[in-house]
Structure 1
C-alpha cells in the first residue's frame, strides 16, 4: 500500500483539505435544515466546529508556546485527518438515511475508512507524525459517531438519496484541489497571541534548540552601548 505513486497519495490527502471538507460540512448542514430540522443542522455545525477548535488550539499552543509531546513527536492534531474522518461518515449517513440501519452503518464505516486513508497519507507525505494523524482520526471519528448516534432515530424519507449524493459528489469533484491557507492563518494567530516573532519549528523544538521567548534585537543606536566590553 505504501508503494502507491506519489500523485495518488497527494490526491488522497487533498480529500481532507479544508477547502473541500468545510464546504461539504456546510452543505450537509443545509441539507439537514432543508430536509429535516434546523436543530440537526445547528447540532452538526456545533459538533464539527468543536472538533475544529481542538485542532486549532493544539496547533496554536505549539506554534506560539512550543506546547507538545516530544516523545510522541506531537505538535498538534492533524486537521486533514480530523475533517475527513468527521465529514465523510456524516455525508454517507445523510445520503443513506432513508435506507435501513445496516446500510447506514456500512456507509458510516466507509466514511471512516476514507478518513483513515487521509490520515495515512499525511504520514506517508511527512506532513504529520503518526501520533498527530491518529489524534486527528480519533477526534474526527468521535465527532462523526456523536452526530450519527444523536441523529440515528431521525425519521427517514424526507430526502431522496439521489439529490443529496449528486450534490455532495459534485462539490467534492469541484473543490478537490482547492487549497485554503489555514496553516498560515493559525500561525498568524499564534504569533499575535504569544508575542513571538517566529513560530516554533518541529525540528528545532525536538532538538531542544527553540528559545522560550522571542529574541528582539536592540535598536541600532543602542547596540554599541549594550554590547559587552572585553577591554
Structure 2
C-alpha cells in the first residue's frame, strides 16, 4: 500500500481535511435534526466537538509550551485522522439507518477503514508521526462508536437513504480540496495564552532545543510553513 503514487496519498489525506469533514459533521447534524430529533443532533455535535477539543488542546500545549512525548515523537493528536475516523462511520450509519443491523455494521466498518486510510496517509506524507496518527484514529473511532451506540435503537424509516447519501456524497465531492487555516488560528491562540512570540517547532524540540524558530508568514496572513491544525 505504501507503493501508491504520491498524488493518491494526497487525495486520501484530503478526505480528512477540516474544510471537508467539519461541513459533513454539520450536515449529519442537520439530517439528524430534520429526520429524528434535535437531541440526537446536539449529542452528535457535542461528541465530535469534544473530540476536536482534544486535538486542539494537544496542539496548543505543544505550540505554546512544548508539551509532548519525545520518546513517541508525539506533538499532538492528528486532526485529519480524528475527524475522518469520527465523521465517515457516522455518515455511513446515518445513510444506512433504515437498513438491517448487519448492513449498518458494515457501513460503520467502511467508515472506520476510511479513517484509518487517512491516518496512514498522514504518516506516509510525513505530516504526522505514527503515534499522532494512531491517537487521532483512536479518538475519532471512540467518538463514532459512542454516537452509534447511543443512536443504534433510533426508529428507522423517517429518512430515505437516497437523499441523505446523495447529499453527503455531493458535499464530499464539492469540498474535497477545500482548506481552512486552522493551524494559523490555533498557533495564534497558543502564542496568546503562553505569552510567547514564536511557537515550538518539532525538529528542534525533538533534539532538545527548546527555543523555537520564528515561523514565516505568507502575504495572505497565513503561516507559510504550517499545515492545517487539524492535520
Aligned length: 213
Q: Distance in 2 between matches of 1:209 and 1:143?
A: 35
Counterpart for residue 87 of structure 1: 87
1:151-183: CA deviation from partner (whole Å, max 9, x where unpaired)? 000000000000000000000000000001111
1:169-225: CA deviation from partner (whole Å, max 9, x where unpaired)? 00000000000111111111000100111100001001111139x9xxxxxxxxxxx
| Deviating 4+ runs (over 4 angstroms) | none
Counterpart for residue 150 of structure 1: 150
Any stretches of 5+ residues in structure 2 without a counterpart? 215-231
1:6-44: CA deviation from partner (whole Å, max 9, x where unpaired)? 000000000000000000000000000000000000000
Q: Distance in 1 between matches of 2:184 and 2:133?
A: 19
Counterpart for residue 98 of structure 1: 98
Helix, strand or coil for the counterpart of 1:179?
coil
Helix, strand or coil for the counterpart of 2:25?
helix
Counterpart for residue 184 of structure 2: 184
Helix, strand or coil for the counterpart of 1:148?
helix
Q: Distance in 2 between matches of 1:183 and 1:102?
A: 39
Counterpart for residue 228 of structure 2: none
Counterpart for residue 18 of structure 1: 18
Counterpart for residue 116 of structure 2: 116
Counterpart for residue 163 of structure 2: 163
Structure with bigger gyration radius: 1
Counterpart for residue 58 of structure 1: 58
Query: What TM-score, normalized by structure 2, do the two folds share?
Result: 0.91
Helix, strand or coil for the counterpart of 1:159?
coil
Describe how 1:39-78 pairs up with structure 2 within 5 A.
39-78=39-78
Q: Distance in 1 between matches of 2:103 and 2:115?
A: 19
Q: Distance in 1 between matches of 2:162 and 2:171?
A: 14
Q: Distance in 2 between matches of 1:156 and 1:75?
A: 42
Counterpart for residue 221 of structure 1: none
Any stretches of 5+ residues in structure 1 without a counterpart? 215-231
Q: Distance in 1 between matches of 2:127 and 2:59?
A: 14
